[in-house]
Amino acid sequence: MQHDGKIAVVTGAAQGIGLACAETLHAEGAKVVMGDVQGDKVAEAAAALDASGATAIGMACDVSSQAEVNALAAKATDTFGRLDIMVNNAGLGVAATVLEITEEDFDRIIGINLKGTLFGSQAAARVMVEQENGGAIVNMSSAQALLAIPNSVPYGISKAGINQLTRIFAVSLADKNVRCNAVGPGTINTDMARNAVLSSDAAYRMILSRTPLGRLGEASEVASVVSFLASDEASYVTGQVIYPDGGRQPVNYVMPVPEELPEL
């Protein structure tokens, strides 16, 4: 297993992509510390991986608080002795146009998505630079880092910021053997997507019309990319963003959508 003996921290790990990342890393041999603002739910998710707590721990963590993110990283080192993989996945979106977005919503999304990624990367890097073999940081970006959606203002801005943060950390930490990469999913079949952008058949058709593979992605498909970037198989990869988006990036037209929609 490619993560045998490694210690991983995953934020936003109570559900969706974060949970899939924790499950995949754990299945590949890593011990995982799972953080989420939903403390009870992430504890249950960790217990489902290992009820004994020997290889999986859940902990309440609001990533917009630097102190709480630092405490999450400290939990990994205090419990397991080191930190090899940091997955900064926690994120949130809000729908509002450029004329409607409020300062409060903008600050909240930037605080969770962008500052949370900064705090997580810092906390992990400070541990990793002290270790003999460094480590790997994987940040959760989005196809929206490059593609503009009119009613997704702070989300798109935060994800574009994560791309640049990833590159800066990669260059800054290269001589310390700490790699930093990002993953930018398209529309993934999660509760967050179903609540935000799949509210009707029309909305679903719109998503599929710009997705050449003709379906939504699964959280496990994103997690497999995260796992690769965190592994020794990607030892010469840093400062990159990989987009598991069903082919959305090169599209400059709409795709035909079947009359009968694929089941969610």
Do 18 and 87 contact (CB within 8 A), yes or no?
A: yes
Do 112 and 91 contact (CB within 8 A), yes or no?
A: yes
Helical ranges in the chain per DSSP H: 16-27, 39-49, 66-80, 103-109, 116-128, 153-173, 191-196, 201-209, 219-230
Among residues 155, 236, 243, 253, which one is catalytic? 155
- Annotated catalytic, 155? yes
Give the Å distances, CA to CA, from 169 to 54, 112, 128, 215. 31, 18, 13, 33
Dist CA 154 CA 133 (whole Å)? 36
Dist CA 142 CA 182 (whole Å)? 9
Catalogue the active-site residues.
Answer: 155
